[in-house]
């Protein structure tokens, strides 16, 4: 018989964790009763790593209170973080009858998803369903209520989150999405007057923008051996710099591997994901986005304060952010030294301003053309309007040309044949833009980039316009025939 690679099973214990202070037994950890509750009341058998987490994170002090006030859990995508939080919530509501729990995520929609999962779980249990009041379903006011007065509300993660509330349990899913401290500060304050509060934050690894996660993770690791710490970290992840093919690292970062996650799914992700996506989402490793920027030499082409000479050959392009919240006009202007000056010459909310502003700019700069993506892009809706009302040619850019535009931008930055005045949103886009494959080439990916990259796209397309579109010969006045 052909030999098969042994089946890979996720690692039960995390790679990095705050060790317990004593042997964990049903007397020293409430995790055991939680596991039984999940199984007997919710009909949910926790996965081995979820049981391990329950036992360790719910360690008790001598006085019966939780040892940890804050629990930070890092696990790769799709391993069962949200499910764990939902079961934990119902256990604290029904077994401990806590008066108030809050669920928050960076977007209300995400928090409501976790909440809805918990409601569904409760409705699926005859015991809990019998003690549930009708959930409040109004948008932004969702609430799960019990007959005995325990409640769970959904909160937006902003600086007003939880204001005027006092909470015993806070569940923050996807902490990596918190780009400011506002929500963390507002929500954790709500536990200050409670006797035995816990804040749980679950997430997969963050990037440079995940400032709350990065800071808390550092704190957790610094205090990891401190017996007095009330801050716990449990991290399932691949070791730093491990090989992408390292199957042991796959198992360390994906404790549900071989149970609810198939090894083939990870192997497939490895072939399709860009390296930084695979590292953050599958290996649960923080990736320094600057190091994997598709334009690593961007800082070298920044020339703060530089301006474009009016009257030189110019290309324009328009792009719109993925969520349509903002539009950008990019310019590429040929310099006397042969290089090209790139700049975002206009940007504002919405798209209504684009046509009138372009008309003004075209009058002053006389670009060879205004480019924009022809179809399948947020800006394509502007195509008809621009073609009808602009006095300069409009270049509708197709997929292959977009790949050429992005490739030319990469080459131009790498070779130093462009310069840029340095504009914060464009610098940030150049640092953080994601890319996606398009046939044998790649293009910048608006949707998967962690910041708005439409300004950068507009510049790349403007560069393409300038290098591709031939200027129309100037119209000369018709000769009068006598």
Ligand X SMILES: Nc1ncnc2c1ncn2[C@@H]1O[C@H](COP(=O)(O)OP(=O)(O)OP(=O)(O)O)[C@@H](O)[C@H]1O
Please identify, using beta-carbon distances, which residue of 157 and 463 lies nearer to ligand X: 157
Q: Applying CB under 6 A, does 128 fall inside the site for ligand X? A: no
Please state the closest distance from residue 77 (CB atom) to ligand X, in A.
Answer: 4
Q: Which positions touch Mg ion (CB under 5 A)?
A: 82
**Binders of ligand X: how many residues, by CB under 6 A?**
14
Q: Is 358 helix (H, G, I), strand (E, B) or coil?
A: helix
405 binds, among ligand X, Mg ion, none (CB under 5 to 8 A by kind): none
Output the smallest distance, CB 76 to Mg ion, in A: 11
Between 106 and 347, CB nearer to Mg ion: 106
204 binds ligand X (CB under 6 A): yes
The size of the chain, in residues, is 482
Question: To the nearest whole angstrom, how small is the minimum distance from the Cβ of residue 285 to ligand X?
Answer: 15
Please identify, using beta-carbon distances, which residue of 45 and 415 lies nearer to ligand X: 45
Query: Could you say which of Mg ion, ligand X, none residue 83 binds, taking C-beta under 5 to 8 angstroms by partner kind?
Result: ligand X
Sequence-distant contacts of 145-148: CB under 8 A, at least 24 apart: 146/93, 146/94, 146/97, 148/97
Between 78 and 223, name the residue whose CB sits nearer to Mg ion.
Answer: 78
Nearest-angstrom CA–CA distance, 175 and 407: 34
- In this complex, which beta carbon is closest to Mg ion, that of residue 111 or of residue 187? 111
Report the nearest approach of ligand X to the CB of residue 425 (Å).
29
Q: Which two three-digit tokens encode residue 88?
A: 């934990």
State which residue, 73 or 433, has the beta carbon closest to Mg ion: 73
Binding mask 249-268 for ligand X (x = CB under 6 A): -----------x--------
Residue 404 interacting entry, from ligand X, Mg ion, none, C-beta within 5 to 8 Å by type: none
Kindly state whether residue 46 participates in binding ligand X, applying the rule CB under 6 A: yes
Query: Are the beta carbons of 282 and 270 closer than 8 angstroms?
Result: yes
Residues 66-95, mask of contacts with ligand X (x by CB under 6 A): -----------xxxxxxx------------
Q: 203 or 347, CB closer to Mg ion?
A: 203
| Contacted entry of Mg ion, ligand X, none for residue 204, CB cut-off 5 to 8 Å set by kind | ligand X
List the single partner that 44 binds among Mg ion, ligand X, none, CB under 5 to 8 Å by kind.
ligand X
In this chain, which residue has its C-beta nearest to ligand X?
80
In the complex, the smallest distance separating the C-beta of residue 201 from Mg ion, rounded to whole angstroms, is: 12
Give me the least distance between CB of 175 and ligand X, in Å please.
12
Find the shortest distance in angstroms from Cβ 398 to ligand X. Answer: 34
**Residue whose CB is less far from ligand X, 253 or 362:** 253
Instruction: State the Cα–Cα distance between residues 142 and 208, nearest whole angstrom.
Output: 32
Of ligand X, Mg ion, none, which one does residue 289 interact with (CB within 5 to 8 Å by kind)? none
Among 41, 42, 47, 413, binds ligand X (CB under 6 A): 47
Q: In the complex, what is the shortest distance from the CB of residue 212 to Mg ion, in angstroms, rounded to a whole number?
A: 17
Question: Which residues make up the interface to ligand X (CB under 6 A)?
Answer: 44-47, 50, 77-83, 204, 260
């Amino acid at each position: 018989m052909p030999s098969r690679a042994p089946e890979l099973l996720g690692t039960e214990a995390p790679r990095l964790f705050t060790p317990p202070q004593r042997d964990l037994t049903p007397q020293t950890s409430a995790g055991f009763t939680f596991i039984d509750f999940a199984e007997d009341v919710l009909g949910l058998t926790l996965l081995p790593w979820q049981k391990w987490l329950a036992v360790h994170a719910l360690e008790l002090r001598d006085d019966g209170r939780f040892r940890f006030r804050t629990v930070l859990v890092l696990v790769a995508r799709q391993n069962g973080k949200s499910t764990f939080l939902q079961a934990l919530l119902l256990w604290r509501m029904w077994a401990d009858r806590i008066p108030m729990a809050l669920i928050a995520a960076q977007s209300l929609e995400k928090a409501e998803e976790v909440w809805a999962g918990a409601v569904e779980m409760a409705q699926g249990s005859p015991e809990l369903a019998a003690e549930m009041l009708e959930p409040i379903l109004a948008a932004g006011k969702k609430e799960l209520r019990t007959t005995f007065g325990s409640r769970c509300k959904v909160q937006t993660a902003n600086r007003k989150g939880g204001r005027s509330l006092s909470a015993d349990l806070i569940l923050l899913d996807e902490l990596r999405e918190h780009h400011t401290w506002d929500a963390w500060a507002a929500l954790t304050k709500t536990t200050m007057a409670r006797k035995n509060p816990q804040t749980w934050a679950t997430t997969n690894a963050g990037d440079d923008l995940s400032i709350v996660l990065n800071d808390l993770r550092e704190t957790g690791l610094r205090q990891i051996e401190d017996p007095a710490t009330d801050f716990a970290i449990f991290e399932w992840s691949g070791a730093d710099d491990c090989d992408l093919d390292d199957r042991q690292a796959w198992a360390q970062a994906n404790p549900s591997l071989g149970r609810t996650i198939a090894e083939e799914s990870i192997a497939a992700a490895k072939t399709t994901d860009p390296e930084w996506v695979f590292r953050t989402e599958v290996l649960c490793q923080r990736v320094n986005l600057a190091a994997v920027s598709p334009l690593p030499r961007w800082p070298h082409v920044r020339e703060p304060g530089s301006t474009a000479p009016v009257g030189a050959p110019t290309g324009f392009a328009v792009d719109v952010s993925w969520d349509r919240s903002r539009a950008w006009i990019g310019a590429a202007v040929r310099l006397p030294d042969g290089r090209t000056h790139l700049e975002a010459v206009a940007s504002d909310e919405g798209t209504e301003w684009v046509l009138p502003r372009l008309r003004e700019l075209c009058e002053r700069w006389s670009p060879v053309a205004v480019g924009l993506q022809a179809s399948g892009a947020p800006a394509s809706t502007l195509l008809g309007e621009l073609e009808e009302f602009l006095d300069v040619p409009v270049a509708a850019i197709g997929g292959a040309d977009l790949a050429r535009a992005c490739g030319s931008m990469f080459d131009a930055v790498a070779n130093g044949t462009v310069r840029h005045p340095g504009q914060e949103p464009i610098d940030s886009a150049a640092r953080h833009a994601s890319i996606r494959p398009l046939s044998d080439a790649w293009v910048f990916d608006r949707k998967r980039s962690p910041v708005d990259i439409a300004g950068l796209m507009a510049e790349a397309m403007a560069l393409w316009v300038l290098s591709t579109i031939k200027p129309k010969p100037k119209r000369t006045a018709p000769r009068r025939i006598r």
